[in-house]
Chain A
């Protein structure tokens, strides 16, 4: 009955760089501190949340990214159903974590737009607007960082060689995409 409209309208291709939104991706924000919190999450999504700062871990279905000592983002590896936003895993975790007072589970699927950058020019693009030093990050697949890109908060996940996922708040995504295109056209 309702139509799904992703934030960004088109994919872009440049010499050495492609830019595209991947959607719909389910994203959950998890917060908690206790050992129980960690083991409960682990058992239910079959993956250990990364405890090391600026890293991620993955299973067949999900990827989880470290955001803070008590905060993670878990996202679906594959796109989910456009017609339905009742996610079983959200319900399950909410019941096992939030209801049991172990922490919090919040659906943030549309809080962030996931932009995939692909190609050997990713870090050239980044250097035109991001103060973060990518020297180590680019050598390590799975790295995660939260920083600023053209003054906008972003989460950057080094998914695989020459492939990076950029998470930006939905309301900023159009502006960021426009900026990326402007920058990429001159790389």
Chain B
């Protein structure tokens, strides 16, 4: 059970949150222009990294805001939390 530092509400128990999958997958602006393969890439393909993973989380049972998290999947260490719309750190 993590303690997650919601960028709006502060430290909260993980049970107040929901994970929302990989971060920074932007919805294509012109889906109709994409081939089946390109669309499938957006729709289905997700990374499953051992190490630093970029994730989306939602403070479902609190302020209901989405935010981004960098989490090391090998030891569950939360390395960074930043708001939606902010740029991911470059590695």
Interface of A toward B, CB cutoff 8 Å:
53-54, 67-69, 71, 131-133, 145-148, 153
Contacts and interface: CB of A to CB of B under 8 A. Distances in A.
B62 A147 contact: yes
B63 A132 contact: no
Nearest to B3: A133
Contacts of A147: 12-13, 16, 61-62
A145 B13 CA distance: 13
Q: What 5 A-B pairs have minimum CB-CB distances, sorted nearest first?
A: A131-B13, A68-B63, A146-B62, A148-B61, A153-B61
A147 B15 CA distance: 9
B89 interface: no
Contacts of B65: 68-69
Nearest to B60: A153
Interface residues of B, number: 13
A145 B10 CA distance: 11
Contact of A69 (B8, B13, B15): B8
B80 interface: no
Contact of A68 (B8, B10, B11): B8
A147 B60 CA distance: 9
Interface centre among B15, B63, B65 (most CB of A within 10 A): B63
Given A53-B10, A54-B10, A131 B62 contact: no
A131 B14 CA distance: 9
Contacts of A133: 11
Contacts of A53: 8-10, 63
Given A53-B9, A54-B9, A68 B64 contact: yes
B72 to A, nearest CB: 23
Given A68-B63, A146-B61, A132 B9 contact: no
